[in-house]
Structure 1
């Protein structure tokens, strides 16, 4: 017996233009710092007419699942249609679309639609998928409304930076050091405590307590993935108060010039959080400078210790 296709629809109104919202939807590289469920995205193909990408995102119970999707862009209608490349064991075969409808006053109604055919061997799939779509769909639309309305535009509040350290030993040893986060409280001076749970998918769910230079302790929670190419990517699911989102990656390279480790951060500031943490008179550029300095300090310490570890391994 054929499993019937099921439809779901969610919508929200924003105070920004359809074109601004459409740009946020089409750029999946932004999704880890915008959408709560999205851990990482990787674009596989892209043209003006559409793209194909892989996405890692949390589903029911916080488990990380991945799938590949194709999208078709209609810039004139401000619509993005999507469909998965293949059946997903949790959702079956899914497709749908985003539509940005103009409202008076240069406002937008955003409509998110899904259609899916549940896996035929899962009797409870219909209800479970509907619950997940209700939760994630509402969260994604609310995030779009928040981010599209950032004063001065997205670029005023978003920062990306990369730092690289040359390694004294093999890059593979540095990768092992960074991935073994359960050892960080013994190996890194700024990590006061860490609780790590490995999911069935291989993703790491990591709750970490770090010590700031002034001695204060801060707790963050992150999901981390080890990609097939050896890159480690992560997304903070409990970011600091000043941030709406924070994601990053660790890259390890070996070439004739020598081995190296790189740390990349992308963070999106929360105007209300910035005012609360730094004071109402601190503007976005100054807040970005302070936040980048704090993130840089921690990642550089981690890279320096990874370098020492790789040097000790290489000397054996």
Structure 2
């Protein structure tokens, strides 16, 4: 019986950011869909403050799927140890650590150490797995380092908000309407075209043609992961509104004793370089944030209204004659 070899690798990036800022960018996984292009959704499963466990939906090969991770966080040492649960074949174990070192005031180094074992130690499998891990490490390090370097203005570029509607009656028809995004043209006012591909059960890729205030059309593309039992659909726009660098969010149908509340949440990262180009000279992130809030809020409400109507019609059609 061959003994599986442990393959180790180390990558690092230096960033013009304080060590505490760089550590927090790694420690807080909630905004990762806005920071990492391949990350569609992160779901925290449990947390004690020094340990956590989360599911990360990543779109690395055109088929978004979740990976499970558990971590031990040491803020004092600025170190995070991690381990992947149930890795996909041919990987048998995968783990490592993140560590942050202060180089000088305002300069820090982020290091990612990884250890991986591959079933059978077959050369082709090992080369493919290590190449993927290497490429992923370099990409993630570069992205997180760049985010940390924008720490002084990052709060002004990040925005979260939600819109909701109360609907008396069951939640199933509401979730059905939200799921069947291909039927939105002609029902949702700003949507004039939609193409949907079911990548796998509950995972969709969509392309929608939307109308702006001035009547011009723009296209958005997104990945959606649907959790029908929980009444949730999370999404990541891979081609967001022109004012945004990144856009993620969630539709949720929350039941109570007499009906449901349908909520649409948006998490966005403004594209600082697009603000004046889109809104004119002198426009700042605050104005861009208000504009995006208005546009996306209007689009959410325009979707919630026909969802409400669809639910009412579904309830009436089920009533006995």
TM-score for both structures, normalised by structure 2: 0.91
**4+ residue runs over 6 A deviation:** none
Runs of at least 5 residues in structure 2 that lack an aligned partner in the other structure: none
What residue is the counterpart of 2:62 in the other structure? 62
CA displacement 1:84-126 (0-9 Å, x = unmatched): 1223346442111111111123211111222212244987432
Deviates more, 1:298-307 or 1:193-202: 193-202
Q: Number of matched residues?
A: 315
Confirm or deny: 8 A CA contact 2:169 2:315 kept in the other structure: yes
C-alpha distance in structure 1 between counterparts of 2:250 and 2:204, whole Å:
14
What residue is the counterpart of 1:297 in the other structure? 298
Verify: 1:178 aligned to 2:171, yes or no: no
Q: How big is the shift at 1:32?
A: 1.0
Confirm or deny: 8 A CA contact 1:206 1:223 kept in the other structure: yes
Confirm or deny: 8 A CA contact 1:38 1:58 kept in the other structure: yes
Verify: 1:274 aligned to 2:275, yes or no: yes
Deviates more, 1:17-26 or 1:199-208: 199-208
What residue is the counterpart of 2:226 in the other structure? 226
C-alpha distance in structure 2 between counterparts of 1:15 and 1:8, whole Å:
24
Runs of at least 5 residues in structure 1 that lack an aligned partner in the other structure: none
What residue is the counterpart of 2:6 in the other structure? 5
Q: How big is the shift at 1:38?
A: 1.1
From the CA coordinates, give the structure whose radius of gyration is larger.
2
Q: How big is the shift at 1:41?
A: 1.1
Residues 25 and 151 (structure 1 numbering): CA distance in 2 closer, same or farther, change over 3 Å?
closer
What residue is the counterpart of 2:208 in the other structure? 208
Residues 191 and 124 (structure 1 numbering): CA distance in 2 closer, same or farther, change over 3 Å?
farther
Confirm or deny: 8 A CA contact 2:71 2:82 kept in the other structure: yes
What residue is the counterpart of 1:102 in the other structure? 102
Deviates more, 1:301-310 or 1:221-230: 221-230
What residue is the counterpart of 2:136 in the other structure? 136
C-alpha distance in structure 1 between counterparts of 2:27 and 2:188, whole Å:
39
Confirm or deny: 8 A CA contact 2:243 2:271 kept in the other structure: yes
Confirm or deny: 8 A CA contact 2:168 2:258 kept in the other structure: no
Counterpart secondary structure, 2:77: coil
Q: How does 1:231-250 map to 2 (within 5 A)?
A: 231-250=232-251
CA displacement 1:59-84 (0-9 Å, x = unmatched): 2x221121211111111221111001
Counterpart secondary structure, 1:145: helix
Confirm or deny: 8 A CA contact 1:5 1:116 kept in the other structure: yes
CA displacement 1:114-156 (0-9 Å, x = unmatched): 2212244987432332332233322222221222222634222
Verify: 1:260 aligned to 2:261, yes or no: yes
C-alpha distance in structure 2 between counterparts of 1:3 and 1:193, whole Å:
52
Residues 129 and 185 (structure 1 numbering): CA distance in 2 closer, same or farther, change over 3 Å?
farther
Residues 91 and 185 (structure 1 numbering): CA distance in 2 closer, same or farther, change over 3 Å?
farther
What residue is the counterpart of 2:284 in the other structure? 283
Q: How big is the shift at 1:168?
A: 4.4
Counterpart secondary structure, 1:312: helix
Deviates more, 1:147-156 or 1:174-183: 147-156
Counterpart secondary structure, 2:150: coil
C-alpha distance in structure 2 between counterparts of 1:194 and 1:89, whole Å:
35
Confirm or deny: 8 A CA contact 2:181 2:196 kept in the other structure: yes
Confirm or deny: 8 A CA contact 2:5 2:117 kept in the other structure: yes
